[in-house]
Structure 1
Amino acid sequence: MAAAFSTYGFLLAAQPPRESAESAYFFLFPCLLWFYFRPGLRKVAVAFFLAGCAYHVALVGWIRHVTPSGMAGAAFLLALYNLPWFLLARRLLPRALEAGFAERLFTMSALSAAWVAIEWARCQFTLGFPWCPLSVTQWERPAILQTLPWTGAWSVSFFLVFFNLSLASYVHHLLVRRRKRTGGVLSSLCPDLYAGILLLTVMVSPFFLADHRGTEGDSLKVKVGVCQPYLKNKWEGDNAALHKDVLRRQTRFLSLMTPDLIVWPEASTPYSINRDPIWVEELAREAGVPLLVGAVVRQEEVSYNTISRVSPAQGLSPEAYSKRVLVPFGEYVPYPFRWIPGLRRMVGPVGSFVPGKDPFSFTLEDGRGNPYEVGSLVCYEDIFPQLVRESVRHGADFLFVTTNDAWFGEEGCPYQHAAHSVLRAVENGIPVLRCGNAGWSGWIDPRGYRRSVLMD
C-alpha cells in the first residue's frame, strides 16, 4: 500500500499547479521496487485502485465545487483506467529484470507503449476524460516538448515511463545483477541506463538543433485584448445587469489600447446572445473593434455553447462555432444514463446542449488590413489532440480557446487546463490564445513558451 501511495504521490507532485516536473522522471520507483518482490496480483489491484482514487481526488478535487458525486465518479473511473498498467508491470517486470538486455528492452518498450495506449483510450469514449496525461507534467519544460510536432504528446509520456524503467533497471543492476557476474569491465555496464539516456538525447535534440532566432519580422502580428471578468452566478438576482456592466467596462478599457480584436470567456453573456444581442452590438460599435464572444446560442428547444463574432459594422454574425465535445453530466446526459431518475438535475440551468459538428475558423483583419484565420475551441476541447488537429487543418493561423474555469474555484483547474494548451501549441506549431473567466488567460507560442499571461 505504501508503494502505491508513494508512486501516485510523486506523480501528483509533478502535475500542475505544483512545480516539481522532475518527479515524473522517478515516480514509478516505489511500485517497481515492490514488484521485484512479486506481490500477489490481488494486493496490487487493491493497493493501486485505492491509491489511484486518492490521487485523482487530489488532482481533480476542484470538480466538487460543481458536483461532489461527479468528482467521486471521475476519480473512480480514472483509477480504473490506470489499473491494468500496474497489473501488467507486476507480471512482466520481475522476469525481465532477471533476463538479458534484449528482453528487458522489449519489456521497457512494451510497458511504455501500454501506458500510452491507456492514455489514448481515455480520448475515445463518451466517458473518456484525457485530463492531465503524464506528458502534462512537462508543460513548463519546453526543451522536452520539441518532438511533439512529429509524435504528439504521446512521445513525452512514452519517454517518461521508459526513463523510469531504465533507471529502475540500473538500480537493480547495481544491487543485484552486477554481483552475479564474473566478467570484466564490460559486465559492470548497464545498457538499460544508456538506452534511457539515448532516448532523452533524442527528446531534447530538436530544442538544441533548432534555429531560435525566429522570423518575427515576417510573422503575423495581431494585437488582442483579453477580457477576464470573473463572473459568477450570473442567473441569480440582479447579477445579469452587474455582469453586463463588468463586461462593458472591461471592453471599453481594452478598446483604449487600440487592439485588433477583443475576446470574451466562455458563456460570458447572461442570456443567449442571439436573443439578447443589442447591448453587445452597441458595445462593439462603441469600441470600434470586433469581438469574439463566448456565449450560449438558443434555437427553439436546444442550446449551443458557442464562440460568436460581433463586428462594429455588421453586428452579431449568424456564423458561429459550436462546441463539438460536450461535458457529460454537465452539458448533457449521455445515453443510457438519461433514463436514470434524477440525473437530469446535473445538467445546467440553460438546459441540454447539442454538440456542433464541424471545426470553424473566423476570418478577421489586423490593423494593416491583412486577413487572418482564428481557429475556435470551447472549454476543455483543447485536451483532445485530434479535435485540435481538425481545427488547425481548417486553416487557422492561431487557435482561440475560450473557457470558464471559475466554476471550479481557485485551485489547480486553470493551470492544469492551460498545460494542455501548451502541448497543443507545440504539436501543431501554432500559437494558442486563451481567455478564461477567472484565468488562465494569455497566449502560448508554437514552441510552448507562455507569453503575456494575465495573472489577475
Structure 2
Amino acid sequence: MKAWLNSETVRYPLAVLCGVAWALAFPLPGWSGMAWLVPPLLWVGTFGLSRIEGFRFGYLAGLIHFLILLRWMRHMPVSMGAYAAWVALSAYCALFPAVWVWVSLGLFKSAASSYSGSDWSRVAVDYVHRSWLERAGLLVALSAAWVALEWGRSRLLTGFPWAHLGSSQWQQLPLIQIASITGVYGLSFLVCWCGLSLAGALLTLGFRPESRWSWTAETRLPLAITLMVMGWGFWEVMGYRRLEARMGARTVKLALVQPSVAQTLLWDPAEEESVFAKIESLSRQALALKPDVLVWPEGNFGLSQTNFLRMKTLLAGTKVDWVFCSDDIEENSTGFARFNAAFHYTAEGQLEPSYRKQRLVAFGEYVPLARWLPFLKWFTPIGEGFQPGNRPSLFRLAGGSVAAPVICFEDVFPHGIAGHVTSEIDFLLGLANDGWFLESAAQWQHSANAVFRAVENGVGLVRTCNNGVTGWWDARGTRRSTLADTEGGVYSPGILIIAVPVGLPWVETPYHRYGDVFAGLCTALAGWRMIRAKWRL
C-alpha cells in the first residue's frame, strides 16, 4: 500500500482527471464548479513527491487541460500548421501549472519524517498539525503564486491570457464584479484559495478527528470573504440596473451583422463576389429595420473597391453609420505597411481615420522572427502579414454614441484594454472573426474572456463576430442580448438589432486606474515566501 501511494506513475491518472476537470470548467460545456477542484487536486495529489516529480505531475495535468481546451485549433485551415500549433501552444502553457506544483512543494517543506505511515499520509498529518496561522499563510501564498503565473502567461512571449481560472466563472455575475478592482486575477485567487481551503478542511477532518470542529477554521476566512464579494457584487449588478432605469438613458440602435463565412472562402479570390453578396443581403435586411449604425465583423468579406462603392450607394440617404474592417495600406520609407484595421463610414459619407489593430496574433497575422527564419512562413498562408497599430481610437457614431473599437484577440488581454477606455466612450466595440475554428468552443471561450474587459473597465461591450458569439453585455457583465437561431445555436448567419444606452455616467474602476497592481502584489508575496523559505531558485 505504501509503495502504491508513493509511486509517481500511479498518480498520473489523477493528473489526467485533474486536466479533464479543468478543461470542462470552460465552454464548452462550461461546468464552472469544476474550476474550484483543480488547485486542490494539483496540491494534495503531489503530497510526498519530490519537486521534479511534482513538476511532471503538474505538467501532465496542464497538458491534458490545454489539449482539450484548445482543441478548436485543429480546425485552422492551415494544412501544415494547425496540429503543430495546437500541440506546441498546449505544451508551452502546461509549463505554468507544472511550475505552480513545483512552487507549492518548495513552499510546503514537510517535517513528515516524524510521523508513521506512507509519505502521502505523513505529509497530510504534518500539514494538519501546523498552526492555523501557518496553514492559512501557506494557502494564501499558493493562491498568490497561481495568480503570479497567470500574470506571467498573460505577458511572456507577447502573452496568451486565454482561460484564466477566474474566467471560468464568467456567468456568475456577483462573483465577477471583483474584477473591477483586481482584474480577472482576483477571481482566480478566490477560486484557488477557496478550493485549497476546502481541501485543507477535509484533511483536518480526516487526520485530526479528535478535534471535532477544527476543520472549520480552514474555511472560515475564505468563505466569509467569498460571501462578502458575492453580496457586494449582487448590489453592484442590481445598482447598475437601477441606474439605467433612473437615468432613462437614450439609446443607440445598432445592427450587428453575422455573415458566418468560412475562413477558406475569405481567402479565395474566386469567392469574393459570393461572399460579398451574402453580407450585402444581410446588410439590406438590417437597414430595413432603420438602425443608427450598421456593424460588420472583422474580415474583408469581398469588399473590393467596386463593392465598397456598392455599399456607399446602398447607404446613401439612410442616415446610417457603417463600421467595417479591411486592410489599411500605408506607404513608408521601405515600401508599404499593411494593417488590420477598423473603419467608420459616417452617414454624411465621410470615411474617418481607421483604428489599426495593436495586438496581432502570431502566425495568424504576423510571423515572428520571419526576417531571420524565413522558412517559418511556410507554416502559414498570411504572407508578409500585418504591422501593429500604435494607438487606440474613438468612433463617434450616429445617435450621439462613442465607441472604442478593438479587433478580435485584443479583448482577451486584461492589461490591453484600459488604454481604449476614457470617460467619453459608451461601450467597447469588439469586431471578431473566429471563423478560423469552424463551429467550436473557441467562440464561447473568446466571449467568456472578453466579458471581463467590460467589468474591469466599467463599460458595456458590444461584439460583432463572423460566426459567433455576437451580442451585447453591459458594464457589469450581464448578457443583455445575443444572436441565436431557433435551436439556440450561435454560429448561423443573421442580424441582431440592439438598443444600447448612451450617456450614462462612467465611474472609473480601480482596475482601470491602477491596472495589474493586485497581480503584482501576488507576485511579490509569492516571491517573498520563496525567499523566506530559503529556496534555492
Q: Does the TM-score normalized on the shorter chain lie above 0.5?
A: yes
Once the two structures are overlaid, the 10-residue window that deviates more, 73-82 or 401-410, is 73-82
How many angstroms apart in 2 are the aligned matches of 1:209 and 1:26? 28
Q: Which residue of 344, 354, 359 maps to 1:309?
A: 344
> Which TM-score applies when normalising by structure 2?
0.78
Q: Which residue of 2 aligns with 1:267?
A: 299
Once the two structures are overlaid, the 10-residue window that deviates more, 157-166 or 229-238, is 229-238
Question: Is 1:250 the equivalent of 2:276?
Answer: no
- Pair 137,315 (structure 1): closer, same or farther in 2 beyond 3 Å: same
How many angstroms apart in 2 are the aligned matches of 1:270 and 1:434? 21
Quick check: 1:116–1:158 contact (8 Å CA) kept in 2?
yes
Q: Which residue of 1 aligns with 2:261?
A: 231
Shift of 1:93: 4.2
- Pair 127,150 (structure 1): closer, same or farther in 2 beyond 3 Å: closer
Q: Which residue of 166, 179, 183 maps to 2:197?
A: 166
How many angstroms apart in 2 are the aligned matches of 1:328 and 1:252? 35
Q: Which residue of 455, 458, 466 maps to 1:437?
A: 466
How many angstroms apart in 2 are the aligned matches of 1:440 and 1:176? 48
- Could you say what secondary structure the match of 1:35 adopts? coil
- Could you say what secondary structure the match of 2:354 adopts? strand
Compare relative contact order (CA 8 Å, sep 6+) and give the higher one, 1 or 2.
2
Structure 2 segments unaligned to the other structure (5+ residues)? 1-11, 77-81, 111-126, 485-491, 493-537
- Pair 189,332 (structure 1): closer, same or farther in 2 beyond 3 Å: closer
- Pair 284,348 (structure 1): closer, same or farther in 2 beyond 3 Å: farther
- Could you say what secondary structure the match of 1:227 adopts? strand
Question: Is 1:125 the equivalent of 2:159?
Answer: no
- Pair 410,134 (structure 1): closer, same or farther in 2 beyond 3 Å: same
**Superposition pairs for residues 314-325 of structure 1, below 5 Å?**
314-317=349-352, 319-325=353-359
> Which TM-score applies when normalising by structure 1?
0.91
How many angstroms apart in 1 are the aligned matches of 2:317 and 2:445? 36
Shift of 1:190: 3.0
User: Deviation string for 1:33-86 (max 9, x for gaps)?
Assistant: 3233x1122222223223322221111121122222111111111111222101
Q: Which residue of 308, 311, 322 maps to 1:277?
A: 308
Q: Which residue of 1 aligns with 2:68?
A: 58
Once the two structures are overlaid, the 10-residue window that deviates more, 126-135 or 410-419, is 126-135
Quick check: 1:332–1:347 contact (8 Å CA) kept in 2?
no
Once the two structures are overlaid, the 10-residue window that deviates more, 200-209 or 280-289, is 280-289
Quick check: 1:281–1:312 contact (8 Å CA) kept in 2?
no
Quick check: 1:126–1:334 contact (8 Å CA) kept in 2?
no
Shift of 1:88: 1.4
Q: Which residue of 396, 406, 410 maps to 1:363?
A: 396
How many angstroms apart in 1 are the aligned matches of 2:159 and 2:95? 12
Q: Output the amino acid matched with 2:171.
A: E
Q: Which residue of 1 aligns with 2:364?
A: 330
Structure 1 segments unaligned to the other structure (5+ residues)? none
Shift of 1:452: 1.4
Quick check: 1:226–1:441 contact (8 Å CA) kept in 2?
yes
Q: Which residue of 1 aligns with 2:329?
A: 298
- Pair 271,298 (structure 1): closer, same or farther in 2 beyond 3 Å: farther
How many angstroms apart in 1 are the aligned matches of 2:98 and 2:458? 34
- Pair 428,374 (structure 1): closer, same or farther in 2 beyond 3 Å: same
- Pair 292,97 (structure 1): closer, same or farther in 2 beyond 3 Å: farther
Q: Which residue of 2 aligns with 1:99?
A: 130
Shift of 1:397: 1.2
Question: Is 1:352 the equivalent of 2:385?
Answer: yes
Shift of 1:18: 1.3
Shift of 1:344: 1.5
Q: Which residue of 137, 142, 149 maps to 2:180?
A: 149
Shift of 1:427: 1.3
User: Deviation string for 1:385-419 (max 9, x for gaps)?
Assistant: 12211111373210000000011111100000001
How many angstroms apart in 1 are the aligned matches of 2:383 and 2:374? 19
Once the two structures are overlaid, the 10-residue window that deviates more, 428-437 or 66-75, is 66-75
How many angstroms apart in 2 are the aligned matches of 1:402 and 1:105? 44
Shift of 1:315: 4.0
How many angstroms apart in 2 are the aligned matches of 1:40 and 1:377? 45
- Could you say what secondary structure the match of 1:351 adopts? coil
- Pair 27,126 (structure 1): closer, same or farther in 2 beyond 3 Å: closer
Compute the RMSD of aligned alpha carbons.
Answer: 2.1
How many angstroms apart in 2 are the aligned matches of 1:338 and 1:62? 29
User: Deviation string for 1:177-199 (max 9, x for gaps)?
Assistant: 343x5xxx6x6353111112112
**Superposition pairs for residues 55-94 of structure 1, below 5 Å?**
55-66=65-76, 67-93=82-108
Quick check: 2:173–2:234 contact (8 Å CA) kept in 1?
no
Percent same amino acid at aligned positions?
28
Quick check: 1:280–1:310 contact (8 Å CA) kept in 2?
no
How many angstroms apart in 1 are the aligned matches of 2:215 and 2:85? 50
When the two structures are aligned, how many residues end up with a matched partner? 443
Question: Is 1:20 the equivalent of 2:35?
Answer: no
Q: Which residue of 423, 441, 446 maps to 1:412?
A: 441
- Pair 328,189 (structure 1): closer, same or farther in 2 beyond 3 Å: closer
Quick check: 1:225–1:262 contact (8 Å CA) kept in 2?
yes
Shift of 1:4: 1.4
